[in-house]
């Protein structure tokens, strides 16, 4: 709790601000069941251009938090804002990449990547970028394939390109690389980092992979479930590119594992 | 070679179910071109048999003077023999024959069986059951009127069907997307929709200025209900995550409806289009029988009024060809439009 407050004070010029957010899901009979508290008093600030990852066991409200920032759901209490403007609805300003690629099956790979440009009515001016993003994810030769021709990993790369082509101010990633094989995954981590540096996109990154979180992020947010709360926020100050086998890396890894183990024990005591 | 291919298909089955695309090349290999006797024997044997029945089995019933049926059988025999001679050299012909020849052979055999039942043994008596020659003679002698009737039916069907589909797409999308439209529209749809379009005929005849006009309206109504129902359910069942993705990509409502919900609903919409086509055939024939004085439905009841059953069956044969052609066209359109989900659903 102390750590949280200092976090809020630290980043007054923050790009993304989540303040005392609480989210309850109402049960079907209209009453509020105790188990339906998804987030409780969550506060988090992400500075413009920062890359923050969120780790935590399933059910800790990570996805709910991302959906809230995307504007797809609204908090029961508290405030979510970008800069000075509170978030009320989804916008192309905040891209979201889901666990499931959710490609539109009726569109080819190229048209899926173009979707954001079409939706914003800027396809004509920005058509050149489509090729650039297809090259980025290495799918030029699949431009005219339909999504059911793609493997899970390829589909997720298309989905990433589709979100990035809008150059969102904040990119929300809900375990985007979870479906990729280990090598593609590491390559994609570097690609995401390259993009992050090139465009200065603020990124909020949910992952189950602690190595991925340490490798990529400026800060790691550790959450606990039922109700979803922020347990600890750990800054990662090692210079990039980070060596996955360096002593600092491994030490941080051990530290996070310990915290999460502790988090698990406190859960069972509830 | 055959067994090896079979094993490959079998082993890759789990992979194939996850990624349907990759099954297709395998399946193509799995049905190699083999020379089976029924491929080249079926049609010539059936046609030869039918010809033998026609010429050598004594007839109990008088036949028309014409010779269309044996000419037809001879053409089938000749084509069957030509195909049998050529198919080893033409791959596409071979594939087509492998698929179609058993069916064609059985069809010719069935016609021969029909001649046995009617003209030869008179199990099915005249005038209600003319033999193949009687039906063919009726088709040929009345071809001008049959052509005219088919043409009128086509015009009526296409205008009614397209009006019905256009209106149904508008109402279906509206009911499927807007909760208010759904609240008020759905009960109406559920109560009024299931009334068969033909039940409105008395009202239609009174209200509309002409019989043709009312027939178009009835066909449109017959199509409207299933297409509206399935469009509405397809739209309202659009996967929420597609809509979420589109929203975070900056989509407005127009994009969500026209570029997400409608494409997502297309497989459903096509089911509605097929159901609507079936009901529109029915309504068309009934409407022509009672109101409009043209078209195949009218022709059938007119020929029946004169007890010319050869013409009745002739018209039925034309109808079968006519309706199944339209059905095939719709299937082709569906395959073209839903190419993105090929291999996912087959019907």
Instruction: Return the CATH number at A96.
Output: 3.40.50.300
* B6 confidence band (pLDDT: 50, 70, 90): very low
Task: Look at A98 and B250 and tell me if their CB atoms are within 8 Å.
Answer: no
* Last-in-domain residue among B134, B155, B180: B134
**B20 CA: distance to closest CA in chain A (Å):** 7
Residue B174 has pLDDT above 60, yes or no: yes
Which of A148, A151, A160 would best serve as a mutation to test chain B binding (most B beta carbons within 10 A)?
Answer: A148
Q: Which domain holds residue B202?
A: 143-341
Cα dihedral value B85, B110, B328, B193, nearest 10:
-170
**Mean pLDDT, residues B133-151:** 92
Statement to judge: residues B188 and B302 lie in one domain: yes
Which of A69, A111, A119 would best serve as a mutation to test chain B binding (most B beta carbons within 10 A)?
Answer: A119
C-alpha–C-alpha distance, residues A104 and A51, integer Å: 28
Statement to judge: residues B56 and B178 lie in one domain: no
Question: Taking an 8 Å Cβ-Cβ cutoff, which residues of chain B contact chain A?
Answer: 19-21, 239, 241-242, 244-252, 255, 259-260, 263-264, 266, 339-341, 343-344
C-alpha–C-alpha distance, residues A262 and A108, integer Å: 47
* A109 confidence band (pLDDT: 50, 70, 90): very high
**A174 CA: distance to closest CA in chain B (Å):** 12
Task: Look at B21 and A94 and tell me if their CB atoms are within 8 Å.
Answer: no
Task: Look at B247 and A148 and tell me if their CB atoms are within 8 Å.
Answer: no
Q: Which domain holds residue A189?
A: 2-102+169-269
Instruction: Return the CATH number at B194.
Output: 1.10.3720.10
Number of structural domains found in chain B: 2
Please state whether beta strands A94-97 and A170-174 pair in parallel, antiparallel, or not at all (unpaired). parallel
Q: Is A251 part of a structural domain of the chain?
A: yes
3-class secondary-structure state, position A106: coil
**Mean pLDDT, residues A83-107:** 89
**Mean pLDDT, residues B29-57:** 82
Residue A99 has pLDDT above 60, yes or no: yes
Chain B residues in contact with A96 by the CB 8 A cut-off are: 244-245, 248
Residue owning tokens 């087959």: B346
Q: Is A76 exposed, middle or buried (0-12, 13-18, 19+ CB in 10 A)?
A: middle
The helix/strand count (H/E) of chain B reads as 16, 0
Statement to judge: residues B152 and B281 lie in one domain: yes
Chain A residues in contact with B266 by the CB 8 A cut-off are: 106
B34 or B135: which leads in pLDDT: B135
Chain B residues in contact with A89 by the CB 8 A cut-off are: 247
pLDDT score for B13: 35
Q: Is A228 part of a structural domain of the chain?
A: yes
Number of structural domains found in chain A: 1
Distances, alpha carbon B37 to alpha carbons A242, B42, B89, B97, B101, in Å: 70, 8, 16, 11, 10
* A262 confidence band (pLDDT: 50, 70, 90): low
* A178 confidence band (pLDDT: 50, 70, 90): confident
Statement to judge: residues B319 and B235 lie in one domain: yes
Residue B171 has pLDDT above 60, yes or no: yes
The residues, any chain, with a CB within 8 Å of residue B217's CB and separated by 6 or more, are: B160, B204, B208
B59-103 pLDDT, tens digit per residue, is: 888 888 888 999 999 999 999 999 999 988 888 898 899 889 999
* Last-in-domain residue among B134, B164, B190: B134
Statement to judge: residues B62 and B186 lie in one domain: no
Contact indicator for A128, A165 with CB cutoff of 8 Å? no
Q: Is B229 part of a structural domain of the chain?
A: yes
Q: Among the listed ranges A180-189, B134-143, B174-183, B186-195, which one has the minimum average pLDDT value? A: A180-189
pLDDT score for B82: 93
B321-346 pLDDT, tens digit per residue, is: 999 999 999 999 998 999 888 665 55
Cis peptide bond prior to A41, omega within 30° of 0: no
Statement to judge: residues B114 and B195 lie in one domain: no
Q: Is A117 part of a structural domain of the chain?
A: no
**Would you say the C-alpha torsion B19, B24, B26, B27 has a positive or negative sign?**
positive
Q: Which of A193, A186, A183, A250 is nearest to A216 (CA)?
A: A193
pLDDT score for B121: 87
B249-307 pLDDT, tens digit per residue, is: 999 999 999 999 999 999 999 999 999 999 999 999 998 888 778 899 999 999 988 88
**Mean pLDDT, residues A127-141:** 85
Residue A228 has pLDDT above 60, yes or no: yes
* B219 confidence band (pLDDT: 50, 70, 90): very high
Q: Is B318 part of a structural domain of the chain?
A: yes
The residues, any chain, with a CB within 8 Å of residue B53's CB and separated by 6 or more, are: B112, B115, B116, B120
Task: Look at B249 and A100 and tell me if their CB atoms are within 8 Å.
Answer: no
**Mean pLDDT, residues B125-151:** 90
Q: Is A33 part of a structural domain of the chain?
A: yes
Q: Is A65 part of a structural domain of the chain?
A: yes
Statement to judge: residues B91 and B238 lie in one domain: no
Residue A234 has pLDDT above 70, yes or no: yes
Q: Which tokens hold the place of A28?
A: 């079907």
C-alpha–C-alpha distance, residues B228 and B221, integer Å: 10
Q: Is B346 part of a structural domain of the chain?
A: no
Mean of all residue pLDDT scores within chain B: 86
Chain B residues in contact with A95 by the CB 8 A cut-off are: 248-249
pLDDT score for B181: 94
**A5 CA: distance to closest CA in chain B (Å):** 30
Count of CB atoms situated within 10 Å of the CB of B341: 15
pLDDT score for B316: 93
Residue owning tokens 């489509």: A130
Mean of all residue pLDDT scores within chain A: 83
pLDDT score for A218: 93
Statement to judge: residues B147 and B128 lie in one domain: no
Statement to judge: residues B170 and B126 lie in one domain: no
Q: Which of A14, A65, A72 is nearest to A42 (CA)?
A: A65
pLDDT score for B226: 94
Residue of chain B whose alpha carbon sits nearest to that of A163: B249
C-alpha–C-alpha distance, residues A183 and A209, integer Å: 14
pLDDT score for A6: 40
pLDDT score for A198: 78
**Would you say the C-alpha torsion B181, B183, B185, B189 has a positive or negative sign?**
positive
Q: Is A123 part of a structural domain of the chain?
A: no
Considering only the beta carbons, identify the residue of B21, B248, B339 that sits closest to A94: B248
Contact indicator for A105, A208 with CB cutoff of 8 Å? no
The residues, any chain, with a CB within 8 Å of residue B68's CB and separated by 6 or more, are: B133, B136, B137, B140
Q: Is B25 part of a structural domain of the chain?
A: no
**Would you say the C-alpha torsion B276, B280, B282, B283 has a positive or negative sign?**
positive
Write down the ipTM of this complex: 0.83
* B169 confidence band (pLDDT: 50, 70, 90): very high
Q: Is A135 exposed, middle or buried (0-12, 13-18, 19+ CB in 10 A)?
A: exposed
Statement to judge: residues B89 and B148 lie in one domain: no
Q: Is A71 part of a structural domain of the chain?
A: yes
3-class secondary-structure state, position A85: strand
Residue of chain A whose alpha carbon sits nearest to that of B241: A102
pLDDT score for B36: 81
Residue of chain A whose alpha carbon sits nearest to that of B15: A151
pLDDT score for A12: 39
Residue owning tokens 């088709």: B139
**Mean pLDDT, residues B48-59:** 91
> A202: which strand partners?
A170
* B230 confidence band (pLDDT: 50, 70, 90): very high
Q: Is B3 part of a structural domain of the chain?
A: no
Q: Is B5 part of a structural domain of the chain?
A: no
Q: Which tokens hold the place of B277?
A: 């086509």
Task: Look at A72 and B248 and tell me if their CB atoms are within 8 Å.
Answer: yes
**B238 CA: distance to closest CA in chain A (Å):** 11
Strand order across the A202-206 sheet: A94-97, A170-174, A202-206, A51-55, A219-224, A229-235
Statement to judge: residues B164 and B117 lie in one domain: no
Statement to judge: residues B122 and B261 lie in one domain: no
Task: Look at B248 and A163 and tell me if their CB atoms are within 8 Å.
Answer: yes
Task: Look at A72 and B263 and tell me if their CB atoms are within 8 Å.
Answer: no
Considering only the beta carbons, identify the residue of A71, A104, A120 that sits closest to B242: A104
* Last-in-domain residue among B83, B113, B134: B134
**Mean pLDDT, residues B14-30:** 41
Q: Is A112 part of a structural domain of the chain?
A: no
């Amino acid at each position: 709790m102390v750590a949280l407050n200092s976090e809020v004070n630290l980043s007054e010029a923050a790009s993304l601000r989540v303040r005392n957010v609480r989210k309850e899901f109402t049960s079907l009979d209209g009453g509020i069941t105790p188990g339906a508290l998804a987030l409780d008093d969550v506060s988090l600030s992400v500075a413009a251009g920062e890359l923050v990852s969120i780790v935590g066991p399933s059910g800790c409200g990570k996805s709910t938090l991302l959906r809230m920032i995307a504007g797809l759901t609204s908090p029961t209490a508290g405030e979510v804002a970008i800069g000075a403007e509170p978030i009320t609805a989804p916008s192309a300003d905040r891209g979201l990449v889901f666990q499931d690629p959710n490609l539109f099956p009726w569109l080819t790979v190229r048209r899926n990547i173009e979707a954001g440009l079409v939706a914003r009515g800027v396809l004509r001016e920005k058509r050149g970028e489509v090729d650039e993003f297809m090259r980025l994810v290495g799918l030029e030769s699949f431009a005219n394939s339909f999504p059911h021709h793609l493997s899970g990993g390829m589909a997720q790369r298309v989905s990433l390109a589709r979100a990035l082509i809008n150059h969102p101010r904040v990119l929300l990633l809900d375990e985007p690389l979870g479906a990729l094989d280990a090598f593609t995954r590491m390559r994609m981590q570097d690609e995401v980092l390259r993009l992050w540096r090139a465009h200065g996109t603020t990124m909020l990154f949910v992952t189950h992979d602690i190595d991925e979180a340490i490798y990529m992020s400026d800060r790691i947010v550790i959450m606990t479930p039922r109700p979803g709360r922020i347990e600890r926020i750990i800054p990662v100050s090692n210079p990039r590119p980070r060596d996955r086998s360096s002593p600092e890396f491994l030490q941080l890894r051990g530290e996070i594992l310990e915290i999460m183990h502790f988090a698990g024990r406190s859960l069972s005591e509830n | 070679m055959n067994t090896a291919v079979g094993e490959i298909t079998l082993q890759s089955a789990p992979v194939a179910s996850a990624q349907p695309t990759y099954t297709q090349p395998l399946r193509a290999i799995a049905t190699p071109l083999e020379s089976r006797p029924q491929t080249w024997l079926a049609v010539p044997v059936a046609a030869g048999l039918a010809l033998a029945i026609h010429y050598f089995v004594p007839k109990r019933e008088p036949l028309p003077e014409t010779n269309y049926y044996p000419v037809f059988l001879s053409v089938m025999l000749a084509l069957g023999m030509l195909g049998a001679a050529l198919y080893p050299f033409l791959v596409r012909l071979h594939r087509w024959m492998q698929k179609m020849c058993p069916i064609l052979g059985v069809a010719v055999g069935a016609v021969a069986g029909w001649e046995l039942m009617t003209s030869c043994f008179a199990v099915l008596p005249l005038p209600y059951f003319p033999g193949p020659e009687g039906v063919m003679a009726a088709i040929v002698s009345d071809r001008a009127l049959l052509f005219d009737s088919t043409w009128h039916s086509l015009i009526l069907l296409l205008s009614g069907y397209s009006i019905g589909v256009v209106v149904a797409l508008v109402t279906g999308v509206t009911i499927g997307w807007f909760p208010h439209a759904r609240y008020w529209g759905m009960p109406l749809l559920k109560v009024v929709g299931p009334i068969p379009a033909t039940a409105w005929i008395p009202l239609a005849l009174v209200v509309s200025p002409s019989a043709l006009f009312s027939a178009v309206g009835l066909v449109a109504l017959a199509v409207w209900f299933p297409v509206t129902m399935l469009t509405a359910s397809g739209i309202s069942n659009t996967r929420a995550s597609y809509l979420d993705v589109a929203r975070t990509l900056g989509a407005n409502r127009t994009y969500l409806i026209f570029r997400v919900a409608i494409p997502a609903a297309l497989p459903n919409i096509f089911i509605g289009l097929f159901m609507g086509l079936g009901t529109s055939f029915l309504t068309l024939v009934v409407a022509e029988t009672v109101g409009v004085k043209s078209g195949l439905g009218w022709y059938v009841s007119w020929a029946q009024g004169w007890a010319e059953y050869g013409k009745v069956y002739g018209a039925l044969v034309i109808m079968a060809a006519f309706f199944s052609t339209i059905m095939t066209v719709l299937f082709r359109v569906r395959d073209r439009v839903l190419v993105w989900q090929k291999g996912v659903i087959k019907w």
